[in-house]
Structure 1
Amino acid sequence: METESTNKTILIAPLNWGLGHATRCIPIIKALQENNYIPIIASDGVALELLRKEFPYIKTLELPSYQIEYAKNGKNFKWKLLKSLPKMIRAIRKEKKTTKKWIEKYEIDGIISDNRLGVICKKTPSVFITHQLNVMTGNTTWLTSKLHQNIIKNYNACWIPDVSTAPNLSGELGHLTKSNLKLNYIGPLSRIHKKETEKKYDLMVILSGPEPQRTYLENKLKTEVTKYDGIVIFIKGIIEKEQKKEQIGNTTYYNFMNTRQLEQIFNESDLVLCRSGYTTIMDLAKLEKKAFFIPTPGQYEQEYLAKKLQKEGIVPYSTQDNFTIEKISEVSSYLGLKKFNSPIDWKELFEIFEQ
C-alpha cells in the first residue's frame, strides 16, 4: 500500500539479541504500512541485516551495538553479561543521543522500541515492547526485574505480546501480581501464518540465538540428525549475503530463509526442533505445532519457558549437553502448542501516535 508523504513517520527499533526481536517486529512493520504510517527501521548486526532483507525498500538506520559478550560455558552466562554492562550502558547513552538527532533529522512522530533501552524521547510518543516484565537472572531476578520495570515506566505505553489471562505463553515473565505500569496485552506476535499443505519433512531444525552457543548446537545436531530416520530440513540461522543450500544424506541444510520460505517450511514440517526463545514459541503457537526444545545454556528466560511448557504437558525439552536424537520420540506424549484467537487491533494501538 502506498503512503502519502504527509503520513506520520514511526521509528521501530528491535534489540539485536539473536533474531527473535527483529522477526517479531515484522508484523508490526507491515501493520504500520497497512495503516498508512511510514516506518523507519533501526537496529544493528544480524537483526538489522535480517530486516534489510525483509524490507529492502524501507529506510534503515544503524544503532550502536550493545557489544554483549556471550559465555562459551552456559554456567558463566550471567557473569559474562555483567562484565559487558559498562559497554552496554555506554551504548544506551549513545543510543539516546542518536535517537534525539534522528527525531529532528527525519521528522519522526513516534517510537516503537523492542527492548532497546535508549530508543526513547520524552517529547515523542514512545512505546516499549517486551515479554519480560520479570527478567530472569537466577538469584538476582528481583533486582533485574525492578531495574527493567523502572525503564519501562519512562515509556508512554508497554505492549506485551501475550494474553493477559491464563492460559498464556509467557507465564511469570510477562505477568505481574501488582503493577502501576501502562501495560497493554496485544496478543502473541508472529510473522508466520498457518496453511494447509502437504507434509514434506518429518523434522525441521531451526537455530537462532547468540554465539557461540548457536554454533555449538549446530555442530551437535549435525551429528545427531545422521542417526534420524526421517527427512530433515535444517536452517542454521546464519544471516549472509547469499542463501546457501546443501544436501547431506536425508538432511537439507540452509544458512537462512526469508519469512515467505520459512512459513512454507514450517507448514510442511511435522515436528520442530529448536531453542525455547519466546518469538519461536509464538510462531509455533500460531501454527499449532508440536515441538522439542533445547534452551540456550545459561539463558534463564529460555530455561524457564522450556520448564513451564514441559510441566504443562505442552512441549518436552532437554538440556544441550544431554540431548540425543532419540529424545524426539517424547513429543508424542505432549499436546503441542495451541493458537490464541486474539486478533490485534492495530488501529487502536497506533492511536498513541495520533495524540
Structure 2
Amino acid sequence: MNKNILVAPLNWGLGHATRCIPIIRELEKNGFTPIIASDGIALALLKKEFPHLTSLELPSYNIEYAKKGENFKWKLIKNSPKTINAILSEKQLVKKWIKEHDLKGIISDNRLGVHSKKVPSVFITHQLTVLSGKTTWISSKLHQFFINKFDECWVPDVNEIPNLTGKLGHLKNSNLNIRYIGVLSRLEKKVLEIKYDIMILLSGPEPQRSILEEKIIEEIQNAEETIVFIKGKVEKEQIKEQKGNVTFYNFMQSEELEKTFNESEMVLCRSGYTTVMDLCQLQKKAFFIPTPGQFEQEYLAKKYKREGLIPYAKQDKFSLDNLNSVPLYRGLPVMETEINWKQLLLLFECE
C-alpha cells in the first residue's frame, strides 16, 4: 500500500531542514515514503541528504534579514505581503499534490499553508509563543491561529522542567493539540579523539550570515587554537580550504558534521534552536552569538546564560577572548528522552 508523506520545512537558514532529517529517516524505517518539499538552501540540503527521494519546490517566504538588528521586525513586516502570497500558493500546491502523489499525510515544519483537511496534517514548531517585542501577543495569537488548522502540533522538547524552550514552547493555557516529542537531532554522541579546539558553525539567512563570517575570520587570524570553520553555505560541491591552523568548509552533510562535532572541544555558533538540540544531544559546550534582532535567538541565549549553561555575546561585541568563559558554564542538561516514533506515526496509519 502506498504511504506517501509530504515533509515540508521552512527555508529559514538550515535549522528547519536539518531537524526534518531524523523525521525523514524514521518515516523510511517505519515503511512510509517521504516526499520532500521546500525551497532555496533548505531544499538543496535535503536533496543532498536524500537524493533517492522525490523532491518538490514550494514558493519562497522571501525571509530577509536587515543589516541592522533593530530593523529586523520591520523588514519582516515589509515582506509580509510576499509571505502571505507564498502561503496561499502553497495551499493550492498541496491540494494538487495530494491527488498527484496520493499523499497519506503531511508534516510541515513552520510552513503555515502546508496542511489539508483530507489527510492528517502535523505542524512542527518550538515557538508556540512568537516573541516580537511589544507585538508578542499579536504574533503569538496569529501563529496559534495557523497551528490550530493542523491535526497535531509536535514540539521538539519535553513538557517537564528542565526543558530547552522555556516560554517559547510552553503555554499556560491552550486549546492546541500539542505533543511534546523530545529532543530532535540528526546527530549521535560518539567518543572520538579531540581534533579541534574550536568548531565554528554558521547558518541563517543573509546578510547576517556573511556579516558574522567576516567578523569571525578577522577575530581568528592570529588564533593559536586548531579551528574547523563550517560556513553554512550549501553549494553544488563541498569546498575544503586550509589556512594555517584553520580548516574551512562551505558546508557538511550529516555524517561528516556529526564526526566533526564529536571531534571538537567546544562550538561557536548561533543560538538557533536546532543547533541547541544538537548541542544537547552531543553534550558539547558552546558559545552563542544570537542573530541581531531575532527575538527567539536572543531569548534563548539570555535564558541559557542566566541558568549558567552557555555564555553568549552580541555580534558587534564578540571577540575571541570571550571563549575563555566557556569552561565556567555547565553546558546544556542531559535530556533523557527517546522519541516514540511508532506512536507518533500512528496518525498516518488511519484510513
Please identify runs of 4+ aligned residues in structure 1 that moved more than 2 A.
none
The separation in 1 between residues aligned to 2:87 and 2:218, in whole angstroms, is 40
Aligned equivalent of 1:57, options 52, 55, 63: 52
Q: Deviations over 1:240-265 (max 9, x none)?
A: 00000111111000000000000000
The separation in 2 between residues aligned to 1:71 and 1:219, in whole angstroms, is 16
Residue 325 of structure 2 aligns to a residue in which SS? helix
The separation in 1 between residues aligned to 2:287 and 2:64, in whole angstroms, is 27
Residue 226 of structure 1 aligns to a residue in which SS? coil
2:223 maps to which residue? 228
Aligned equivalent of 1:272, options 261, 267, 271: 267
Asked if 1:353 corresponds to 2:341, the answer is: no
Q: CA deviation at 1:7?
A: 3.5
1:140 maps to which residue? 135
1:123 maps to which residue? 118
- Listed as ranges, the matches of 1:38-53 within 5 Å are 38-53=33-48
Aligned equivalent of 1:108, options 96, 103, 112: 103
1:209 maps to which residue? 204
Q: CA deviation at 1:230?
A: 1.0
User: Do the aligned residues in 2 keep the contact of 1:136 with 1:301 (CA within 8 Å)?
Assistant: yes
Q: CA deviation at 1:226?
A: 1.8
The separation in 1 between residues aligned to 2:238 and 2:60, in whole angstroms, is 25
Residue 116 of structure 2 aligns to a residue in which SS? coil
Could you state the TM-score of these two structures normalised by the residue count of structure 1?
A: 0.98
The separation in 2 between residues aligned to 1:146 and 1:168, in whole angstroms, is 23
The separation in 1 between residues aligned to 2:72 and 2:244, in whole angstroms, is 35
Asked if 1:91 corresponds to 2:98, the answer is: no
Residue 210 of structure 1 aligns to a residue in which SS? coil
Q: CA deviation at 1:339?
A: 2.7
Residue 204 of structure 1 aligns to a residue in which SS? strand
The separation in 2 between residues aligned to 1:198 and 1:147, in whole angstroms, is 47
Could you state the TM-score of these two structures normalised by the residue count of structure 2?
A: 0.99
Asked if 1:327 corresponds to 2:303, the answer is: no
Asked if 1:176 corresponds to 2:171, the answer is: yes
User: Do the aligned residues in 1 keep the contact of 2:122 with 2:154 (CA within 8 Å)?
Assistant: yes
Residue 109 of structure 1 aligns to a residue in which SS? strand
The separation in 1 between residues aligned to 2:36 and 2:149, in whole angstroms, is 21
User: Do the aligned residues in 2 keep the contact of 1:289 with 1:338 (CA within 8 Å)?
Assistant: no
Residue 272 of structure 1 aligns to a residue in which SS? strand
Aligned equivalent of 1:293, options 285, 288, 299: 288
**1:183 corresponds to which letter in structure 2?**
I
The separation in 1 between residues aligned to 2:166 and 2:10, in whole angstroms, is 22
The separation in 1 between residues aligned to 2:37 and 2:222, in whole angstroms, is 42
Asked if 1:153 corresponds to 2:157, the answer is: no
What is the Cα-based RMSD across aligned positions, in Å?
Answer: 0.6
Aligned equivalent of 2:184, options 183, 189, 198: 189
1:3 maps to which residue? none
**1:319 corresponds to which letter in structure 2?**
K
Give the total of aligned pairs: 350
Identity %, equivalent residues:
61
The separation in 2 between residues aligned to 1:301 and 1:192, in whole angstroms, is 23
The separation in 2 between residues aligned to 1:114 and 1:132, in whole angstroms, is 11
User: Do the aligned residues in 2 keep the contact of 1:286 with 1:338 (CA within 8 Å)?
Assistant: no
- Listed as ranges, the matches of 1:6-45 within 5 Å are 6-45=1-40
1:81 maps to which residue? 76
Residue 12 of structure 1 aligns to a residue in which SS? strand
5+ long unaligned stretches in structure 1? 1-5
Aligned equivalent of 1:302, options 289, 294, 297: 297
The separation in 1 between residues aligned to 2:2 and 2:87, in whole angstroms, is 29
The separation in 2 between residues aligned to 1:279 and 1:253, in whole angstroms, is 22
Residue 221 of structure 2 aligns to a residue in which SS? helix
Residue 215 of structure 1 aligns to a residue in which SS? helix
The separation in 1 between residues aligned to 2:213 and 2:334, in whole angstroms, is 29
